[in-house]
Amino acid sequence: MTRPLALVTGGVKRVGAAIAARLAEAGYALALHGNSDATPEEGLAKKLVETGCKWSGFQQDFLDDGAAEALMDEIVDHFGRTPDLIVNSASIFGQDDAEAIGEKALRDHFRVNSLVPMLLTTALHHRRPAGSDRACVIHILDQRIRNPNRDQLSYTLSKQALAGSVRSLAVACADKLRVNGLAPGLTLTAGEYGEDQLANITAMMPLDRLPDLDDIADGVLYLAGAKAVTGQIVYIDGGASLKSFDRDFVHLGKD
């Protein structure tokens, strides 16, 4: 039996690596994208060996023109088929606000966080053979798309644009694809948050907990197999999106 093939952009480290590891456990073959290199971080590399996953790495700088088409071409050439799943996890994250925002930062955020995921989706639709099972695309978003704050403005705007594409792409590509979004809350906190601050932020959540990498990976696996679900955004955030915060979490809970 041929393993389903998943492309995970930004899939060699951090959140992308956790998603890739879970997909390897679930029996997927993997195309792992990295921006500057495609070498899996240590934990993922170990998981790929343990699971016997068939995988290959693909380096592509998403700031380059034509990056989405080039990446899809490389994957199809290597595996001889289109992905059955794309997880658009790669992103850049800036610290600008309305006073500091600039054209280049905004352009770069939209290219990496919005344009490339949209073009990967349409490239998959174009190449997906007619009559095959529908492939699945999952955009990794951010819970702040529902209640934005004033920080990281270029990042937030680009993620809102990607979130807005979910319904449109789900309709436009419905003959061959399902398209959904997953919006995590605060997850990776090492080095940025003190223990007391993190406890205070956790207490602000309606569920009195923050999501972890396993929660996000579980959400991806659910959407990948949910054959009757398209055009939806699932929030995995401890309930953070049900509330409004004036600042990014890194500025909160310090008192």
pLDDT in tens, 59-101: 999 999 999 999 999 999 999 999 999 999 999 999 999 999 9
For residue 243, give the nearest of 193, 189, 185 by alpha carbon.
Answer: 185
Asked if 148 and 240 count as a contact pair (C-beta separation under 8 A), the reply is no
pLDDT tops 90 at residue 192: no
Q: Is the pTM of this model over 0.95?
A: yes
Q: How do residues 102-135 score in pLDDT, each as one tens digit?
A: 999 999 999 999 999 999 999 999 999 999 999 9
- pLDDT band of residue 187 (cuts 50, 70, 90) is very high
pLDDT at 194 over 80: yes
Amino acid, single-letter form, for residue 24: A
pLDDT of residue 255: 76
Strands 55-59 and 177-184: unpaired
Which phi and psi (to 5°) does residue 26 adopt? -85, 0
Residue 190 pLDDT level (bands cut at 50, 70, 90): confident
What pLDDT was estimated at residue 107?
98
pLDDT band at 203 (very low <50, low <70, confident <90, very high): very high
Q: State both tokens at 117.
A: 């995921």
CATH class of 5-251: alpha beta
User: Domain limits of the chain?
Assistant: 5-251
Give the tens place of pLDDT for each residue, 216-235.
Answer: 999 999 999 999 999 999 99
End-to-end, the C-alpha distance of the chain in Å comes to 56
Q: Is the pLDDT of residue 1 over 90?
A: no
What is the pLDDT at residue 71? 98
**Mean pLDDT (the chain, rounded):** 97
Q: Is the pLDDT of residue 147 over 70?
A: yes
pLDDT of residue 201: 96
CB burial of 33-63 (b: ≥16 within 10 Å; e: otherwise) equals: bbbeebebbeebeebbeebebebeebebebe
Cβ contact 114:163 at 8 Å? no
Give the chain as a 3 state SS string.
CCCCEEEEECCCCHHHHHHHHHHHHCCCEEEEEECCCCCCCHHHHHHHHHHCCCEEEEECCCCCCCHHHHHHHHHHHHHCCCCCEEEECCCCCCCCCCCCCCHHHHHHHHHHHHHHHHHHHHHHHHHCCCCCCCEEEEEECCHHHCCCCCCCHHHHHHHHHHHHHHHHHHHHCCCCEEEEEEEECCCCCCCCCCHHHHHHHHHHCCCCCCCCHHHHHHHHHHHHHCCCCCCCEEEECCCHHHCCCCCCHHHCCCC
